[in-house]
Amino acid sequence: MKKKILIISGGISKERIISLDTGRQVAKELRKNGYKVKITEPNYQLLSIIGSFKPKVIFNALHGQFGEDGYIQTILESTKIPYTHSGVISSALAMDKELSKKIFIKNKILTPKYFCYSYELSKKDLIEKIETKIKFPVVIKPLNEGSSVNVFICNKSNIFKKLNLLKEYRKVLVEQFIPGREIQAAIIGSNKLGAIELVPKRKFYDYQAKYNSKAKTEHIIPVNLTKIKYNQLMKITLKAHNLLKCSGVTRADFKFFKNDFYLLEINTQPGMTKLSLVPEIAAFKKISFIKLIELILKDANKNK
């Protein structure tokens, strides 16, 4: 019997369903390959379950708030058991779109122009600020959600309607809309895994495009880039991964426009579902699903 793996999935974020799917599929693959696996929710029983099951590694299959923002990582640190993906600080930095953008800009990584909006500006002042600093159309999004939850492309006529949908958030990122190609690239450990291009049938690669098979997003791999541009893409991806001191697997989301790569964000816990991109990139590189999972588990043993 191979070592015991505890998988934490579910949670209370808006990405709960995706997390449950990730947990189920990782568990199925591990069991098929001889591992003893237990799946649990991140609830008040978590520490007692960890204590009684005594896993060798904890696989963090959570997505979204409380799962990839440093919260659960802080709890797992207390167990002294290796856990997958990034640590406390790296997770918190990557999840906070404002903080991560500041780091990218400081280190000369191109990212769309932005500012944070906290509902204190008048409508007139907000419009003026956008037209002065960014120009319409803009993208509005929460600072700390994943999977493109509550992300909207806005123009002057609909921005206040869309902002009203985000009033549960204290602050909202207002970001320059970059047209062009959607390209995503992955790192595992300190190695460049590869990239994939997405051609969504929807306006952009939103939550539905990511997880609804009926949305029929086209996946293109290998990406049609020159060798020089592909190497540049992967160099930026690894640089961003290292700047945030990430561990395990990460996926960076880019827009490619007028021969430039604009880094939108880094995902420290990308999905492991049938529609997920990292397993697809790995498969193209002849890395099976179980091998990918084992690489992630192996990286969990490193200090975070």
Indicate if 251 belongs to the active site.
yes
Catalytic residue among 251, 262, 276, 299: 251
Identify any residues that bridge with 171 across adjacent strands, giving them in sequence order.
Answer: none
Catalytic residue among 71, 117, 211, 262: 211
Catalytic residue among 15, 29, 96, 197: 15
Indicate if 147 belongs to the active site.
yes
Check the CA dihedral 175-178-179-185 and report its sign: negative
Catalytic residue among 69, 175, 206, 253: 253
Catalytic residue among 60, 86, 148, 267: 267
Indicate if 29 belongs to the active site.
no
Apex CA 214: angle with CA 213 and CA 217, to 5°?
70
DSSP notation for 187-230 = EETTEEEEEEEEE-SSSSS-HHHHH-GGG--EEESS----HHHH
Catalytic residue among 147, 150, 247, 276: 147
Cα(177)–Cα(110) distance, integer angstroms: 14
Catalytic residue among 41, 182, 265, 299: 265
Indicate if 211 belongs to the active site.
yes
| 246 and 234 Cβ atoms separated by less than 8 Å | no
Catalytic residue among 117, 271, 276, 299: 271
DSSP 182: E
What is Dmax (Cα atoms) for the chain?
65
Indicate if 15 belongs to the active site.
yes
**DSSP-based three-state secondary structure for 108:** coil
Cα(62)–Cα(67) distance, integer angstroms: 5
- Residue 214, Cβ density class (10 Å: 0-12 exposed, 13-18 middle, ≥19 buried): exposed
Check the CA dihedral 292-89-264-21 and report its sign: positive
Indicate if 128 belongs to the active site.
no
Cα(154)–Cα(140) distance, integer angstroms: 7
Q: Mind telling me the catalytic residues? A: 15, 147, 211, 251, 253, 265, 267, 271
